[in-house]
Amino acid sequence: MQAIPFPVSPVRASGGGQHDGALEDHDVTQLMNIDDVDADEHDEHALALLARELQRTQTLRSETEAHIQRLVVEQRQLEALARRESAAQAAVGNRLSRIEQLQAQGRERAAQAAAASAERERQREEQAKAEARRREYAVEARGADAHSDDLDAFLALDSAYY
C-alpha cells in the first residue's frame, strides 16, 4: 500500500499563531480552530484512504470471485473430460474384448472346418477302400461264379458220361 502524507495545516507549518511564549485568548481560540481544521483534514484524509482501500478490496474480491468461478468451470470441464476419457477407454476395452472374442470364434471355426475337412477326407478314403474291396469281391465273386458254372458244366458232362 502506498503511503499518503498526512496534510499539515499551513498555519502550523509556518509556525504562525505563536507569540513570544505567552498565549492570549484569541491565540488559544485560533489554535483550537487550527486543531479542529487539522482534525477535519485528518478525518477527510483518513476517509479518502479508507475509501480507496475499500475500493481496492472490493476490486480484489470481485477479481477473486471471478477467478474462483473460472476455476470451478475449469474443474467441471476437467471432470467431464475425465468421464469422457474413462468412457472412451471402456469402449476401447470393450471393442478389444469383442475383437478377441471374434478372433477366438474364427480360430474355433477354422479348427472345426479343418476337422470336418479331415473327417470328409477320411470318409472318402474309407469309401474308396470299401469300393476297392467291393470291386475285389465282385471280381472274386465273378470268378467264383465262373468257376462254379464251369464246375456245374463239368459235373453235368461228367454225369452224362456215366
Q: Which residue has the cell 476455476?
A: 71
In this predicted model, what pLDDT tens digit does every residue of 13-55 receive, in sequence order? 445 444 454 555 655 566 556 666 677 788 888 899 999 999 9
Decide if 6 contacts 42 (C-beta within 8 A): yes
The grid coordinates listed for 53 are 482501500
Residues 159 and 99: their CA atoms lie apart, in Å, by 86
Considering only residues 89 and 155, tell me which one the structure prediction assigns the higher pLDDT: 89
Entry pTM: 0.41
Report how far residue 126's alpha carbon sits from residue 122's, in angstroms, rounded to the nearest whole number. 6
Determine the Cα–Cα distance for residues 139 and 78; give it in Å rounded to an integer. 89
Around 103, how many Cα atoms within 13 Å sit in the side-chain half-sphere?
A: 6
Instruction: Return d(Cα 94, Cα 57) in angstroms, integer.
Output: 54
Q: Specify the pLDDT at position 13.
A: 47
Residue-wise pLDDT tens digits, 90-127: 999 999 999 999 999 999 999 999 999 999 999 999 99
